[in-house]
Amino acid sequence: MDESTEPPSAAASDVPVIRFDDLHKSFGKQHVLAGLNLDVERGKTLAIMGASGSGKSVTLRHIIGLMKPDSGRVLVEGVEVAKMTREQLSEMRKGMGYVFQDGALINWLSIGENVALPLRENTNLSDKEIRERAQHKLELVHVPDAWNKMPSEISGGMRKRIGIARALITDPDIILYDEPNAGLDPEIARSINATIRHLADTLEVTSIVVEHRIECIRVVADEVLFLHEGKSLIQTATADFFASQHPRLLRFFGQDSLPPSANPHS
Amino acid sequence: MSFSSSATHFVQTSGERASLLLATLRRLPAVFERRRLIADAMCSLGLNMTPVVLFVGLFMGMIVSLQTGIELSRIGQQDQIGLIVAVSMAREMGPFITATILAATAGSSIAAELGTMSVSDELAALEVMSIDKLRLLVLPRVVALAIMCPMLTVLCDGIGILGGGLVASSQLNVGWDLYSETAMDSLRPVGGWFGLPFDVFAGLLKSFVFGIIISTLSCAEGLRAKGGALGVGHATRAAVRDSIILVIIANYMISQMLYDL
C-alpha cells in the first residue's frame, strides 16, 4: 500500500488536515483546476473565493471523494482520498460534514428525520438517543421546533440551517460549506454566518467555506484562498487578504482597493 | 447517434441495470429492517393503482370475451368462451396489462422521484453521509413491486374473467353457469408450485419477474439522471419505454420456457 493510504498516525497532528497537491481536473476541454495547491490547518476555517465557474465547489467535492482528480493528490489527515478503499472512504466521510448549497434535504423525510438520518443508518443507537442528539443539533442552529415540518414547508434560510444541523449530527472534525449564503437575504445570511463562526469557535472543527460574499468571509474565515485560472492566486490570513492590493482581487471586487478588513473574531 | 455509440450506450446501460439488480439482491438480508419503507412503497406504488388495474382488467376481459365470442358463435362453439377468457387472462393478459400499468405509473414515479433526488444533490448528500442508497431507496422499491405486481395480477385476472362472463351472459347468450364452469375447468389442472393451477402459476411467475424488471430499470434510470428537469424527463421516459420493451421480451422467454418444453 502506498504510504499516503496508510491510516494517520499520532504524529499526523502536525500535517495539514487537508492538503491539495498539484491537483488537476478537467471537464471535457474545460480545465477547471490546473495545479491547485492548498493546506488547511487543524481547527482553522478556510474560505475559498473565486469567480463563478472557477472550481470552488469542485474543490470541495474532491475533498469528500465525490470527484476524482485527473492528476495530483487530495490528502485528508495525510491519507490520499483517491486511493482510499470504499470502507476507508466511508469512514472518512463519517468524520466530515458537508453542507450543500440548498441543503439537499431528503424531501420525503421530516426535518427531524433528515437530521437523524445518518445516525439511524450508520449506528445502533436507540431511537430515544437519536432523537435527543438530533434535537440538540436543531437547537444548535436555532430551529428547535422544526422536527415535524417537511422540507417543502420551510424557507431557504431554514433549509441551510437544517443542512448544517445534519452535517453536525455525527460530530465531525471537518465541515465543508458550499456557498452557505447563496440565495439568502442579508439578514438571514448574517445569521447563517454567525452560526458558522459560532460552531467553529465552540466545536473547534476544521472548516472550508466556499463563498464569494465579502460579508461572509469577514465573519467566518481565518484564512482566505482566491481561486484564479484553476490555481490558488493567494492563500493568506483574512486580514492580509483584505489588505492585499493584488490587481486581480481589485478587479474581482470592482474597486480601487479591497474592502477594509473587518474580521470581528481576529 | 451513430450505430457504434448506440451499441456502446446499450451495453453500458444494460450492464448498469444488471449490476444494480445484483447489488440490490445482495442487500436482501436487510429486507426486514426496511419493512416500513417496503410497506410504504407497496401502498404508494401498488395499492394505489388497484382501481386502475381493476378498471382496465374488467374491460380487457369484456373485450376478449366479445371478440372471441363473435367468432366462436359463427362455428357454434361459444360455450368455450369461459375457457378462452380464463386462460388468456391468467397466462397473458393479466400479467401483461398489470405490468404495463405499473410501468406507466409506478415505473415513471420511481424514475422521477429518484431522478429529482439525483439532480437536486440528495443522492450526493446520502453518499457523503455514507448512507447506502441501494438499501434505503432501491431495495424497498424492488421488493414492493415484486410483491405487488403478482397481487395486482390476481385481481386483474379475477375481474377480467368476471367482465368476460358479463359480456358472455348478456350479449352472447352463454349462460353464467356454463361460462363459469368452463372457466373454472380450464384453470383446474394443478401443475404449478404451491398447488396453483399451472396457468395461474405461470402468470404469477411472469408478473413477479415483471415487477423486478420495472422497479430495477426505473431505479437505474432515476439514479443516473443528470441535468435538471430535462434529465428527469429523459430518465422517466427511458424507464417506461425500456420497462415495457423488456417486459414483452421476458414475457416471450418465460412463455417459451414454461409451455414449450
Q: pLDDT per residue over B4-49, tens digit each?
A: 888 888 888 888 889 999 999 999 998 898 999 999 999 999 899 9
| Chain A touched by B125 (CB under 8 Å) | yes
The reply to whether CATH 3.40.50.800 applies to domain A42-57+86-253 is: no
Q: A93 to chain B: nearest residue by CA?
A: B128
Q: Which of A136-150, A175-189, A250-264 has the highest mean pLDDT?
A: A136-150
Range list of β-strands (E), A30-127: 30-40, 45-50, 71-76, 79-80, 96-99
Say if the Cβ atoms of A106 and B125 lie within 8 Å.
Answer: yes
Predicted local distance difference test score (pLDDT) of residue B261: 55
Instruction: Return the C-alpha cell found at A258.
Output: 479591497
* C-alpha to C-alpha distance for A41 and A30, rounded to whole angstroms: 30
Q: Which residue of A has its CA nearest to B121?
A: A104
As a whole number of angstroms, the distance between CA A169 and CA A119 comes to 8
Is pLDDT above 70 for B176? yes
Q: Which of A57, A90, A106 to mutate to test the interface with B (most CBs of B within 10 A)?
A: A106
Amino acid at B79: D
ipTM of the complex: 0.83
Q: Which three cell numbers stand for residue B9?
A: 450506450
Main-chain dihedrals φ then ψ at residue A237, nearest 5 degrees = -60, 150
The pLDDT tens digits of the residues spanning A51-72 come to 888 889 899 999 999 999 999 9
Tell me if residue A223 falls in helix, strand or coil: strand
Mean of pLDDT values over A236-254: 85
Question: Considering only alpha carbons, which residue of chain A is nearest residue B33?
Answer: A121
A102 inside 8 A of chain B by CB: yes
Between B163 and A257, whose confidence is greater?
A: B163
A106 touches chain B (CB under 8 A): yes
Domain boundaries, chain B: 34-259
**pLDDT, position A262:** 47
A99 strand-pairing partners: A177
Structure pTM?
Answer: 0.84
In the predicted model, is pLDDT for residue A14 greater than 80?
no
Mean pLDDT of B193-212: 88
At A178 the three-state DSSP class reads strand
Measured between beta carbons, which residues in chain A are less than 8 angstroms from residue B226? none
Domain residue limits, chain A: 42-57+86-253
pLDDT band at residue B154 under the 50/70/90 scheme: very high
